[in-house]
Amino acid sequence: MLYGDSERKQVSRAAGVVGFFTFISRIAGLVRDVVVAAMFGSSAAADAFFVAFRIPNLLRSLFAEGALTIAFVPLFTEYLTIKGKDNAFELARVVLTILSLILSAITVAGVLFAPWIVSIQAFGFGLEGSRHDLTVLLTRITFPYIFLISIVAFFMGILNSLKHFAAPAAAPILLNLGIIICAWLFAPVLDEPVVSLAIGVLVGGVLQVLLQIPWVLRSGFRLIPLWQPWHPALKRMGILILPAIFGAAVYQFNQFVGTLLASFLEEGSISWLYYADRLVQFPLGVFAIALSTASLPSLSVCAASNDMTRFCKIISSALSLVFFISIPSLVGLIVMGQLLISVIFEHGAFDGWSSLMTYRALIFYSIGLWAFSGIKVMVSGFYALQDTKTPLKAAGLAFIINAVLGIFFMRKMGHIGLALALSSAATIQFFFLAVCLKKRIIDIILGDILKTAVKTIIASAIMGCGLIIFEYFLSELMDASMIFQIFKIIILLLAGISVFMFMAKLLRCNELDSVLDMFKPLAGFLSKVRE
């Protein structure tokens, strides 16, 4: 490996905890999407909800899980490392007080100006009409979610810095459960059934906050406001947070642009892109985001103590591991994508045409999965160094490229052109960040990362060929009933994993050890649950 066992195991095991709960959350998210697809398909009502929900989700990425976490965690970790826990908690109380006031103002403004926000986000819906009005209503209902999820992100920063990852990673499960339960309870009795989904967003947000509070209190943090706007760390946070607001959420911001452009295309385009993105987000969230989340506190400690040798080893290994996981994932999504979409989404109002259109978008989203994943890790490295300017430059470049290519591709390729534009922009953003990181930290051995990527590509290509052959023979042996299709997915997943792991072992990919380390804390957690 590129660094000692202690550092590798620390990050890998933390990523395993985050990845486990993220996996459960993604499963719950898929169930949620199955419910939404079956009830609303790719209708105008579904488009309205996805637009409305994407607005607070964008702000969540910009302010909460993005800029707030990026600006707060390195400073909070620095205070923990150098000044002690009491001073760190004092800083946290100051931040929470000011954050609550700012979020309250943003929430009120969002509810009041919802018609103008919708007109910008989905200009193709027009400035009036039933679809526009429904989207405004849903936006007003879901907008307070930004307040709730920002508080969750703040608590997540505290807990992750204290090396507690379970409760923050488990929080999104409650959002999905809230939407599912509210859809089941309220959709049949409401005049506008899709409003039940918006209510579920709010319920899920409240549940996420309630989950974090006991763990935060147990850590010793007191939920007592502390008004100290002159606190020296706030100015440093302000300097970090302004460029991070855009740089941290370029993927979501580019999705915002994609939604805007898709609103000019045929009805259902927004929904097809949304469902395809949900499948891509599965491996991205379970592994790439888990690794970046787990590595940020460790990288911040290294930066605070000026241990750049360990810093380089951590980020180099994280990049190698994220490629080792994301590359076979994208091959699997491309080969098995149509089967997965058919089994997961093709129910009720979601028909075969919607499945085909979603799969076409999935192909072009998937080819950028490795870049999306690598960006997550590298951005964590820059933010641990309290450098938000470089990610901002990279994000600005990606944003321009995505917008230009999106307009160009959508004319000839429709909604799949928007997926291709996003993957292309992410690829350029990744290489830009890699060059900048190499200039900033010359000790990072990009050659070793490239070797891992090449080995992984070879193993993934062989796995993909094997999956195609397996699927052909299974299709000949099984009929098209749902039970057999589910059985086919299970067989293909097991076969694909087995072939890839065999080839990785044959090619001597050391990342296999890190993958095994990711699963070790889960055994301990499950044993505690049984007790």
SS (H, E, C) 278-333: HHHHHHHHHHHHHHHHHHHHHHHHHHHCCCHHHHHHHHHHHHHHHHHHHHHHHHHH
Nearest one of 104, 112, 103, 106 to 136, comparing CA atoms: 112
Q: Judge whether 355 lies within some domain.
A: yes
At 520, is the pLDDT very low, low, confident or very high (cuts 50, 70, 90)? low
Q: Judge whether 451 lies within some domain.
A: no
Q: Judge whether 46 lies within some domain.
A: yes
Q: How far apart are CA 223 and CA 221, in angstroms?
A: 7
Q: How far is CA 452 from CA 325, 370, 447, 460, in A?
A: 11, 13, 9, 12
Element (H, E) at 24: helix 5-40
Percentage of residues in the chain having pLDDT higher than 90: 17
At 2, is the pLDDT very low, low, confident or very high (cuts 50, 70, 90)? very low
Cβ atoms within 10 Å, residue 153: 24
Q: Judge whether 460 lies within some domain.
A: no
The residues near 128 (Cβ < 8 Å, ≥ 6 apart) are: none
Show the domain range for 350.
15-443
Q: Residue 134 corresponds to which tokens in the numbers above?
A: 């429904």
Cα 248 to chain center, whole Å? 11
- Burial class from Cβ neighbours inside 10 Å (0-12, 13-18, 19+) for residue 525 reads middle
Q: How far apart are CA 172 and CA 163, in angstroms?
A: 19
Cα 240 to chain center, whole Å? 21
At 359, is the pLDDT very low, low, confident or very high (cuts 50, 70, 90)? very high
Q: Judge whether 494 lies within some domain.
A: no
Residues 324, 509: contact at Cβ < 8 Å?
Answer: yes
How many domains does one find in the chain?
Answer: 1
Q: How far apart are CA 522 and CA 63, in angstroms?
A: 31
Helix, strand or coil for residue 346? Answer: coil
Nearest one of 99, 108, 95, 178 to 143, comparing CA atoms: 108
Nearest one of 246, 271, 244 to 259, comparing CA atoms: 271
Q: Kindly state the DSSP code that residue 351 receives in the 8-state scheme.
A: -
Q: Residue 287 corresponds to which tokens in the numbers above?
A: 């592994």
Summarize pLDDT for 233-291 with one digit per residue, the tens. 887 777 777 666 666 556 566 767 777 788 788 777 888 888 888 888 877 767 777 77
CB burial readout 397-406, b (16+ within 10 A) else e: bbbebbbebb
First to last CA, the chain: 35
Model confidence, pTM? 0.71
Comparing 72 with 404, the larger pLDDT belongs to: 404
Range in 181-185, 238-242, 441-445 with the lowest mean pLDDT:
441-445
pLDDT of the residue at 334: 93
Q: Judge whether 8 lies within some domain.
A: no
Element (H, E) at 495: helix 482-506
Q: How far apart are CA 138 and CA 124, in angstroms?
A: 17
Comparing 12 with 237, the larger pLDDT belongs to: 237
Q: Judge whether 76 lies within some domain.
A: yes
Range in 177-186, 266-275, 466-475 with the lowest mean pLDDT:
266-275
Residues 439, 309: contact at Cβ < 8 Å?
Answer: no
Q: Judge whether 312 lies within some domain.
A: yes
